[in-house]
A and B are shown apart, each in its own frame.
Chain A
Amino acid sequence: MEISMILIPAAILAALGAFFGILLAIASRAFAVKVDERVPLVRDALPGANCGGCGYSGCDALAAAIVEGKAPCGACTVGGDAAAQRIGAIMGVTVEKKQRMRAQVMCSGGDAHATKKYAYEGAQDCLAAARLAGGDKLCPYGCIGLGSCASVCPFDAIHVENGVAAVDYRKCEGCGSCVAICPKSLIRLIPYDSAHWVGCMSQEKGGTVTKQCKVGCIGCTMCQRVCEAGAVTVKNALAEIDYTKCVNCGKCVEKCSRKIIWSAERQEGGLFIHRL
């Protein structure tokens, strides 16, 4: 066996490799695209959860959008104020202090409270169930309880308990993925520290509500009358709390005739919920 039988193929492959190597080296110079050096810095300041809560496909896309000026520095809901300040420092702008938000399911009507109009046996998905006469609960505003929100939550912070989705505040980062998917638009983002919320979204009149659910807001306006800060208003037979005015006094909770204004207390390890 001649040595050239090995050398020639090796030389040709090496030449081919070297040719492509040089070609790529030239191409990378010739086709160099200027990338803003702030993009990787902003990317590092973001949490990297790729949850999509900001409306972009991931943290990389948001970083590019922030540097291009298409998105505000505080666009990341998960990173919260800390990330917004870091990004502001990179971009050379001052960022207003950002409030941390959490998701809250505005429904209390679990299997024990809400009346059902039929037995649903289809795909275990709220979006599918909502297409069948708006879900199995008689109340058209009620939580379907099949956990579409739980399946989209990137932080495992939302779970269905007794037929109603509930948010685990220790895990919730306020990304808003669940808000976007809920077919009933029942999930709201509220300030992280807010202690009270109305666990109902029903705009039906009092009589109808009592037939549909044991724990629905009937719009009796007791909460509105008792609130000294003027934060609670009843509109369309539904109480609503204005969190810019609420002082967390808890008077509405005491007076609520249907016991559907929830109250939470800040304790070690998160918020402690007082059940109805």
Chain B
Amino acid sequence: MSFTDILLLMFSAILVENFIFAKFYGCCPFLGVSEKPDTALGMGMAVTFVMTLSGAATWAVYHFLLEPFGLEYLKTVAFILVIAALVQFIEMFLRKFIPALYASLGIYLPLITTNCAVLSAALLAIQNEYNFISAVAFGFSSALGFTLAIVVFAGVRGKMEFADPPRAFKGFPITLIAAGLLAMAFAGFSGIKL
């Protein structure tokens, strides 16, 4: 894969195939922690961190452990194990060596263990038969797309605080409608084939 191919892959993963707005992965943290832009950015950073590293780790586990033994069908179980262990490891590592980052990520870091976007990034990289570098690039840029989506949505929700919707729509319903509108806006990218 050439450098251009990787750039195109990243662009596609961020905008065209955005994890939240095009594939609807990771909707739980997307709705749960998008109330303020700075916490949304914290969550996005934590996801980016884990997704990039798990992209590398799961690729290695698949190609050096599962494939030689013909156990490709175990990849979902194995990847969950790898991601959970990785998140735990990263948490300990950050706590010791980068306490400032650990404090700013806070509760979001362990929450990522159960974020389906991380698992699906790992599985899609295998499904699309990426090599190591493009698998890592795919994980990284998918997470950037997630960060973009959650931060943009946090801005929208900030504006909605001052809106006065009909009583039945107050709170979560109007949030879901706004998320749907944003997804439709991102659907504008779907015509681009790279």
With an 8 A cutoff between CB atoms, is B89 at the interface? yes
What residues of chain A lie closer than 8 Å to B66, measured between beta carbons?
Answer: 12
B3 at the interface (CB under 8 A from A): no
What is the CB-to-nearest-CB distance from B80 to chain A, in angstroms, rounded to a whole number? 11
* Contact among B69, B74, B81 for A20, CB-based, below 8 A: B81
What string of 1s and 0s marks CB contacts (under 8 Å) between B50-85 and chain A?
000000000001000110010100100110011001
Give the chain A neighbours of B89 by CB distance below 8 A.
Answer: 23-24, 27
Q: Check if B193 is an interface residue, CB within 8 A of chain A.
A: no
> Contacts A123-B164, A128-B162 hold; do A13 and B96 have CB atoms under 8 A apart?
no
A161 at the interface (CB under 8 A from B): no
- Closest approach, in angstroms, between the C-beta of B54 and any C-beta of chain A? 13
Binary per-residue interface labels of chain A (180-205) against chain B in the complex, 1 for a CB within 8 Å, 0 otherwise: 00000000000000000000000000
> In the assembled complex, which residues on chain A have CB atoms less than 8 Å from the CB atom of B69?
8-9, 12
Question: Secondary structure at chain A's binding surface: helix, strand, loop or mixed?
Answer: helix
The answer on a CB contact under 8 Å between A20 and B85 is yes
The main secondary structure of chain B at its interface with chain A is helix
Given A23-B89, A27-B89, A31-B92: A16 and B65 interface contact (C-beta under 8 Å) = yes
Q: Does chain B have a CB within 8 A of A3?
A: no
Indicate whether B23 reaches chain A with its CB closer than 8 angstroms: no
Q: Are A24 and B85 in contact (CB under 8 A)?
A: yes
Distance of A9 Cα from B76 Cα, bound (Å): 13
- The interface residues of chain A lying within 8 Å CB-to-CB of B88 are 24
A112, CB-defined interface residue at 8 Å? no
| Cα(A19)–Cα(B71), bound, Å | 18
Measured CB to CB, the residues of B under 8 A from A are 61, 65-66, 69, 71, 74, 77-78, 81-82, 85, 88-89, 92-93, 95-97, 99, 162-164
| Other 15 A-B pairs with CB < 8 A, given A33-B99, A128-B162 | A9-B69, A9-B74, A12-B71, A17-B81, A20-B81, A20-B82, A23-B85, A24-B89, A28-B92, A30-B96, A31-B95, A31-B97, A33-B95, A122-B164, A124-B164
